[in-house]
């Protein structure tokens, strides 16, 4: 059995890790780390775990934890892991970090967008960006995995094949993204109160959202050059889910014709046809957040707009599963040579 520890086990992403790993055949959770609930019964905090989890919460002591487990999940705020990670810890344990500390390779970009001084930039070159469908082989050999963000997972996977194949101009990419309230975390914030969110839709962090450079860096790797995208997130009054609608100009062929829907579909099939967690929807069917809720699936669809010579790309996922904890477990499965789908084949919830 793989021994796992979770730091930040009482946040939404941490709780989702507990839910998924509790049903994982090859894992035993040894440590429920929580700075706010030390010595409290985990099941008293999350009553859905009543008679399922008997452990109490422990301090966020990553050094001690690294001596007891095989893998650590850090579902923590930005800056936590970067301030503590060292060679001694990494020599003993594999780490899947759900924060942004090791997602962005350029230190200056991370520090600008997150307003933090990076505590351990020496590990940025080693950390593997944990988007399994793209970096699978690199993940298998890693010690440190940077689990992607929720908006970024949906945005990157939806656009990646067409950018990689040069079928769209990445500098024209505009991403309109919408997220359920759980994406903002479990902390008490006025903007996330029921009366503030209910019966309301709002844009936020316009032109300043921290996932923007992550999207640009990863899609820039696909384009083999630096790119600039427009990314605008919105908050939707629902618990879970992300839907992105993206727009980009198609690249015409030598005869100045636009690529057909069938050609674009063939590209998606080539990249994702064998991917268990990516579902390519039939022509004319648009992704909906409710059809992926509670699951590790990403639903992707697209439509060509011949009038504007653009393509409309659409993707949907559960921000707490494929956008956080599910993807983290998928990464762990790769790290330990397990079936990539182990613990992750739950059918989406409806209603």
Return d(Cα 73, Cα 86) in angstroms, integer: 16
Structure tokens at 80: 């936590």
Q: Is 187 exposed, middle or buried (0-12, 13-18, 19+ CB in 10 A)?
A: exposed
Looking at residue 189, its pLDDT comes to 83
Q: Which residues contact 60 (CB under 8 A, 6 or more apart)?
A: 7, 8, 33, 34, 35, 76, 80
User: For residue range 86-125, what is the model confidence (pLDDT) as tens digits?
Assistant: 999 999 999 999 999 999 999 999 999 999 999 999 999 9
Looking at residue 185, its pLDDT comes to 85
Cα diameter, the chain? 69
- How much helix, strand and coil, in percent to the nearest 5, is found in the chain? 35, 20, 45
Domain spans of the chain? 2-126, 151-319
Active site (catalytic) residues: 150
Classify domain 2-126 by CATH architecture.
3-Layer(aba) Sandwich (3.40)
CB 297 within 8 A of CB 278: yes
User: For residue range 128-177, what is the model confidence (pLDDT) as tens digits?
Assistant: 999 999 999 999 999 999 999 999 999 999 999 999 999 999 999 999 99
**DSSP H or E segment with residue 157:** helix 150-164
Looking at residue 138, its pLDDT comes to 98
Local structure of 44: helix, strand or coil: helix
Return d(Cα 336, Cα 330) in angstroms, integer: 10
Looking at residue 279, its pLDDT comes to 98
Return d(Cα 158, Cα 178) in angstroms, integer: 14
Looking at residue 184, its pLDDT comes to 85
Residues in the chain with pLDDT values less than 50: none
**Whole-structure pTM value:** 0.96
Return d(Cα 287, Cα 315) in angstroms, integer: 6
Looking at residue 192, its pLDDT comes to 83
Return d(Cα 19, Cα 33) in angstroms, integer: 15
**Chain-centroid distance, C-alpha 292:** 14
Return d(Cα 219, Cα 343) in angstroms, integer: 29
Looking at residue 188, its pLDDT comes to 74
Class of domain 151-319: alpha beta
């Amino acid at each position: 059995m793989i021994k796992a520890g979770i730091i930040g086990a009482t946040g939404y992403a941490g709780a989702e890790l507990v839910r998924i790993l509790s049903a994982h055949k090859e894992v035993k959770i040894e440590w429920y780390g929580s700075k706010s609930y030390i010595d409290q019964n985990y099941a008293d905090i999350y009553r859905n775990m009543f008679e399922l989890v008997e452990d109490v919460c422990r301090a966020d002591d990553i050094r001690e934890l690294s001596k007891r487990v095989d893998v650590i999940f850090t579902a923590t705020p930005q800056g936590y892991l970067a301030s503590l990670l060292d060679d001694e810890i990494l020599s003993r344990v594999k780490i899947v970090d759900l924060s942004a500390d090791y997602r962005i390779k350029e230190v200056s970009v991370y520090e600008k967008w997150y307003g933090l001084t990076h505590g351990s930039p020496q590990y940025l070159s080693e950390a593997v960006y944990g988007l399994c469908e793209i970096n699978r082989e690199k993940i298998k050999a890693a010690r440190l995995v940077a689990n992607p963000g929720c908006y970024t997972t949906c945005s990157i996977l939806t656009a990646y094949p067409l950018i990689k194949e040069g079928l769209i101009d990445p500098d024209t990419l505009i991403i309109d993204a919408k997220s359920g309230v759980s994406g903002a975390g479990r902390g008490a914030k006025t903007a996330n109160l029921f009366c503030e969110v209910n019966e309301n839709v709002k844009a936020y962090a316009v032109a300043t959202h921290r996932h923007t450079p992550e999207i640009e860096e990863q899609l820039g790797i696909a384009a083999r050059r630096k790119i600039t995208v427009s990314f605008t997130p919105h908050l939707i009054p629902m618990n879970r889910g992300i839907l992105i609608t993206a727009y980009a100009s198609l690249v015409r062929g030598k005869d100045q014709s636009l690529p057909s829907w069938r050609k674009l579909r063939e590209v998606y099939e080539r990249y994702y046809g064998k991917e268990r967690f990516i579902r390519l929807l039939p022509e004319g069917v648009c992704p909906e957040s409710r059809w992926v809720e509670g699951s590790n699936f990403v639903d992707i669809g697209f439509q060509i707009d011949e009038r504007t010579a653009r393509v409309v790309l659409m993707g949907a996922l559960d921000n707490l599963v494929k956008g956080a904890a599910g993807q983290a477990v998928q990464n762990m499965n790769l790290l330990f040579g397990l079936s990539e789908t182990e613990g992750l084949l739950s059918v989406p919830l409806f209603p």
